[in-house]
Amino acid sequence: MRASVASALVLSVAALAAPAQKPVAPARREAAVPFAVGETLTYDVSWSFSGTSIVSAGTATSTVQDKQPSFGSTAYVLVAEGRPIPLVARLYQLYYKMDALLDASSLLSHRGTLHAEEGKARRTSITQFDRAGRRVLFEEQSDTTTKLQYAVPPQTEDGLSALYLLRARTFKPGERITFPVADSGSLYTVDVTVGQPEAVKTRALETMAWPLTGVIKDADGQSEWKNIGAWISVDARHLPVKMQAELPVGAFVLSLREVK
């Protein structure tokens, strides 16, 4: 008993004599999300333009490739790719690849990258977020290199991260969700309206899904894209089972074909 008391006194004195150490910051708790590393979603892509419709124009995949240290935190590595079917590729070569680093705790983007091949043209754009400075550092490499930076609100996402952020939300019919997105060197505002769950059928599954109707506006409040929509399954996976958008080059619909 005396030995135990003596040992305790020695340890106490040693602790007092030891140099003060900085308190260790508690580990950041990761946000609950409906996806995990290894998830791969494959979509059939259909396209229509000026009354001409191609039932199957290409395929697209979206993958949670990894989770790794990033900018002093931990981030999901998200990768999305899109390619035309061989018939369309003979007419016009297209390839798109997006990747993003999505913070596992805050669900805010660290960085988003887009690589595009359109015919003979090639371009790569990088959107990196300076969260402390509330700004974006943007660089685009094509025939020339463009660099710029601009201020953004605290909750700004890149385009790919915004989709996964929506998947992590809970929805209510009639709810409106607004958030900023930095893309291609500009700041946009995305307004999403949630509808009543409805039945959606794709090659991968038949399920009830939340219909989300979106509007994307530029800094002047002008609508950039039309007829934007996404259907998110009501189950725990919150899968984007269908997505659509009307762009200057035509209207696209992505329908979920396979889930891994």
For residues 186 and 219, the answer to whether their CB atoms sit within 8 Å is yes
Average pLDDT over residues 101-110: 98
pLDDT at 2: 37
Once rounded to an integer, what is the mean pLDDT over residues 80-89? 74
Spell out where the chain has E strands: 40-49, 52-70, 73-84, 94-103, 109-118, 121-130, 135-141, 145-151, 176-183, 186-194, 198-201, 206-217, 223-233, 240-247, 250-259
Helix (H/G/I), strand (E/B), else coil: 180: strand
Q: What three-state secondary structure class fits 40?
A: strand
Spacing of C-alpha 246 from chain mean position: 20
194: tokens are: 């949630």
Examine the pLDDT at 15 and tell me if it is beyond 60: no
Whether the per-residue pLDDT at 118 is higher than 60: the answer is yes
d(CA 67, CA 75): 5
What is the Rg, in whole angstroms, of the alpha carbon atoms belonging to the chain? Answer: 23
pLDDT digits (tens, 9 = 90+) for 194-204: 999 999 999 99
Distance of CA 37 to the CA centre of its chain: 14
pLDDT in tens, 23-73: 444 567 999 999 999 999 999 998 887 666 666 778 999 999 999 999 999
| Closest to 107 in 3D by CA, of 170, 163, 191 | 163
* Contact (CB, 8 A) for 75 and 109: no
pTM, to two decimals: 0.84
Please tell me the CATH code under which domain 27-259 is placed: 2.40.360
Distance CA(153)–CA(65), nearest Å, equals: 28
* Strand stretches in 131-205, DSSP E: 135-141, 145-151, 176-183, 186-194, 198-201
Average pLDDT over residues 122-133: 96
Per-residue model confidence (pLDDT) at position 49 = 72
Q: What is the pLDDT of residue 227?
A: 77
Tell me what the pLDDT averaged over the chain comes to.
Answer: 86
Quickly state the pLDDT bin for 214 (edges 50, 70, 90): very high
Q: For residue 216, what are the contacts with CB-CB under 8 A and spacing of at least 6?
A: 181, 188, 189, 190, 191, 223, 224, 225, 228
